[in-house]
Amino acid sequence: MSRIQQEIIELKNMLLQMSSLTEEAVRSAVQAWQRYDHELAKRVIDNDEEIDKLDLEVDNLVIKTLALQQPMARDLRFLTAAQQISAQLERVGDHSVNIAKQVHSLMEGDEIRSCPAPGLNEMAGIAIQMLADSINSFVYEDPNLAKEVINRDSEVDGLYSEVVQAEIESMSRDRSSVKCGVYHIILALNVERIADLATNIAEEVIFLVEGRVVKHTGIKTTKEEKCEIPTTTHRPDPLESLENHAKTVHECLATAAKAIKTYIDREHINFVELFDQVSDLEHKADMIKRNVRAHLPKGIIMPIDKFELFFYLNEQDAIAGTAETMLEWLTYKHPEISPKIKEGIYNLMEKCLETSKNLPQLLHAANIYFKSGDEDVRNHVKDGIRAIREKEHDADVLEHELKRNLFNDDSLDPVSLLYLLRLVDLIGSSADHAENAVDILRSMIAR
């Protein structure tokens, strides 16, 4: 590998580290303002020094490489784009600090705390997504994603005008709201500038990939491009993939519940058919899991920690694995089961199903929160997590009751007793994995 390629790789890593810190700074600053969180705001201000330091390191390495390696063509474009992207990210960090500093002022008096700003919240959500998409367009070298970012800038500009106009009208009607209005306008200005800087980064990506300067000319389509049939490569959002995985996992567990009933009712043919369906669904869930892990490139910007995503995915996937394991266990023996024990198994299975049933909706809401930062959505997710925890507790109660009934069933020989106790453990563990998954989700939304 040539020296210039080594330095380009080093620059890429520095930019990805810088972009991750910057994106976290923006999200944290917005959340500090939305939650009136003084400590979170202070953390944003303190961490800005690290972003500034990386900006200087990128700048120095670019100048050194330009002077000593004399790059040409694409390498030259990358170096100039890297320097510009670094500068934009540093300025995004500065605007995050500006937002964080306003939190101290916003906390001075209850009249500020009671001032709603729906348009400002919407602006912040779009700007955060634009920043993440602009960095991801750099990671993927995707000019189409960059163009989407550029096109969204006018949306933020429109919201900015609406927020400013609304605050001016509010201040004109009520002089007591002047302080609140001024702070909101300052916040809106910083959010609008973050969207502009995300747009600048997207423009640099187009320059890097296509060699076109669109900063002042805008996005123009050539005659050749107009004649081509547009093709779009859809890259699944990892969080959307988690939601699809959750749907498959629940379907797998629900099918296993039907299979258990046919087993107990001694419907052998139906049991075999359902067992095959469970195996197929477990394999489908496993393929979704592998796809998420395999197609998550280094440096992609997400609002959650990648390791937490993988831990969550493992726990959710374990539900499907448990469903297949419990059916495999059933094939080893077929003891006589009393009506009371049958009812206990059915009730436990139904309660465990309730813990996985709402996982897709919960992930969908969490994805909305990660993109928008909406506190109402966050609270909705927290309520959903608590509900699943309560259902898991109810499943534990049913599991312990069923085990007591098994020990008190004199008709069971020791081998059958141990066999059914193991089956009950497997059924109950599906709810345990669901609870473990939402505990990790709770950690994700707490960042």
The count of other CB atoms within 10 Å of the CB of residue 30 is 28
Kindly state whether residues 79 and 154 are assigned to the same domain: yes
Query: Could you give the CA distance from residue 115 to residue 86 in angstroms, rounded to a whole number?
Result: 36
**Domain, as residue range, for 30:** 3-215
The answer to which of 188-192, 337-341, 375-379, 387-391 has the lowest mean pLDDT is 375-379
Give which of 427, 370, 406 is closest to 128, Cα–Cα. Answer: 370
Query: What are 4-31's pLDDT values in tens digits?
Result: 888 888 888 888 888 888 988 988 888 8
Do the domain assignments include residue 230?
no
Kindly state whether residues 178 and 327 are assigned to the same domain: no
Instruction: For Cα atoms 309, 96, 166, give the angle at the middle one, nearest 5 degrees.
Output: 110
SS3 397: helix
Kindly state whether residues 242 and 191 are assigned to the same domain: no
Kindly state whether residues 193 and 283 are assigned to the same domain: no
Do the domain assignments include residue 43?
yes
Burial code of 225-252, b = ≥16 C-beta within 10 A, e = fewer? eeeeeeeeeeeeebbebbbbbbbbbbbb
Kindly state whether residues 205 and 77 are assigned to the same domain: yes
Kindly state whether residues 198 and 289 are assigned to the same domain: no
Query: What are 280-318's pLDDT values in tens digits?
Result: 999 999 988 888 776 665 555 555 667 788 889 999 999
Range 387-414 average pLDDT: 94
Q: Among 215, 248, 283, where does a domain finish? A: 215
Do the domain assignments include residue 233?
no
Residue 212: phi and psi, rounded to 5, are: -105, 140
Kindly state whether residues 209 and 346 are assigned to the same domain: no
**Residue 389 confidence (pLDDT) above 50:** yes
pTM confidence score: 0.62
- Higher pLDDT: 329 or 37? It is 329
pLDDT band at 219 (very low <50, low <70, confident <90, very high): low
Kindly state whether residues 72 and 174 are assigned to the same domain: yes
Rg from Cα positions in the chain: 27
Kindly state whether residues 316 and 390 are assigned to the same domain: yes
pLDDT at 230: 40
Q: Which helix (H) or strand (E) holds 107?
A: none
pLDDT band at 107 (very low <50, low <70, confident <90, very high): low
pLDDT at 235: 56
pLDDT at 435: 95
**Residue 223 confidence (pLDDT) above 80:** no
Do the domain assignments include residue 154?
yes
User: Of 69-73, 176-180, 334-338, 392-396, which has the strongest mean pLDDT?
Assistant: 392-396
pLDDT at 256: 96
Do the domain assignments include residue 358?
yes
Q: How many domains does the chain have?
A: 2
Task: Give the CATH number, domain containing residue 53.
Answer: 1.20.58.220
**Residue 403 confidence (pLDDT) above 60:** yes
pLDDT at 232: 42
pLDDT at 124: 87
